[in-house]
Structure 1
């Protein structure tokens, strides 16, 4: 039996109208009538009662009995289509450090979210965890802040971000730039941005003076920022905060901290079934990082 005949009858049982059925299937009314007659001829029974000149129809007893068969066929056909789509689904799992995940990758996630053929699993993890899971091929792609030489892991720097001061203090906020030596370290909310950053930090701030708070969560540091405190974060995180809280200031340094480097890592021998999806995802990341570099240069 021609599936188009079943499809037409299944829609007709819902609309009970030839014109509406034709519109839903993008057919002419004569084609709908032809298919209905062909189905009746094949089954050897009348399925609908027709009134000349009227587009509305009524199902006969045979039509009502066959309706359940046609709707069952429609349901099975939908499942076949969904199965076909699922079999072509690309899956990628990634591990990302907190500050990259929350403030730099949102546009990447939005683009993937709108792609029905890609399924993305995101894990927020520490750098060491990400390296371990990439080596074990538990996740496909990792984004970390440090390069750790490991034989089976491929590492590529994808971005270096400017670091800026964030504060609610009007006195600091109205400055064109800030001298790190004039900042009060006891008002600092401290985040560790790596070895090079620590060298720069220790050059300007006495180690015996404790920061106001030490945390490894950028999100938490934003929540705790008050009128007297300050912190140093990547430019992307600072602008994300500015969009939510208008009373903060973003100020560059006259003696700049080292840029925050971000690395993309993958296993040199990924699972064969995931290779195409991994390469597509890496290309998407490269595209967005190119756009971010242009944005950063214009700030």
Structure 2
């Protein structure tokens, strides 16, 4: 099996999934490629990878697209900003922003609250790089799951936002022809991946409950309910 995955999903969501595959009863032989969303679609369309995990949805003939995970955003900083637990865009100084492009919906939302004429301090395409850049003033926005993993391994502060943010959606895509040729492997891989994602969502919910039982967990449950209802 060969898969193409965006950087943040590889580094923050799927690390334990790969460990699970090592212990699996099936003898998986897996090629993992870190790619951008458009590259993932191109490779799946060309049958050069079997399964893609992009962050955006595209309608392409012969390509099956399924949304498998969704989450909102929080603020990551080295220390608490303005001594507040809940932040609004006015509390966040663009001069000290590390911008990460979490998808088109996020970028449209971002331009509404952070004037595009004022460039951020840094623009990066990797949450790991953003964490390395953090200091006493810099901050960035990241999805719940990424934030919780960062909090486990780095000295930082996670703050909620006092307004709604766009969802960062993860999709699973396959080429219909290739999925038939490798039907058993593709079906088994998809099944294991979905099971893992659902377990991860429950873990994120538990962590959010410990972080702030009256805010983030309630909000995250509503996201999951909406996803299960509509997705």
* TM-score bin, normalised by smaller chain: 0.7 to 0.9
Tell me whether 1:294 sits opposite 2:202 in the alignment: yes
Alignment partners' CA distance in 2, 1:257 and 1:162: 6
The answer to whether the 8 A contact 1:238-1:250 is kept is yes
Shift of 1:114: 2.0
Q: Figure out how many residues of one structure are paired with residues of the other and give that number.
A: 206
Alignment partners' CA distance in 1, 2:85 and 2:80: 12
Alignment partners' CA distance in 1, 2:146 and 2:198: 17
1:129 aligned residue: 39
Which ranges of structure 2 fall in alignment gaps of 5 or more residues?
A: 209-231
1:167 aligned residue: 77
> What's the secondary structure of 1:193's corresponding residue?
coil
1:180 aligned residue: 89
TM-score (norm 1): 0.66
Alignment partners' CA distance in 2, 1:294 and 1:184: 33
Shift of 1:294: 2.2
**How large is the RMSD of aligned CA atoms in angstroms?**
1.5
Tell me whether 1:97 sits opposite 2:6 in the alignment: yes
> What's the secondary structure of 1:269's corresponding residue?
helix
The answer to whether the 8 A contact 1:112-1:120 is kept is no
Shift of 1:231: 0.2
> What's the secondary structure of 2:87's corresponding residue?
coil
1:145 aligned residue: 55
Which ranges of structure 1 fall in alignment gaps of 5 or more residues?
A: 1-91
Alignment partners' CA distance in 2, 1:253 and 1:140: 37
Shift of 1:271: 5.7
Larger radius of gyration: 1
2:151 aligned residue: 242
The answer to whether the 8 A contact 1:96-1:125 is kept is yes
Alignment partners' CA distance in 1, 2:81 and 2:130: 20
Which structure's relative contact order is higher, taking Cα pairs within 8 Å and 6+ residues apart? 2
Alignment partners' CA distance in 2, 1:171 and 1:178: 8
Shift of 1:138: 1.0
**Quick check: 135-144 or 197-206, which moved more?**
197-206
Shift of 1:225: 1.1
Shift of 1:256: 2.5
1:265 aligned residue: 173
The answer to whether the 8 A contact 1:137-1:271 is kept is no
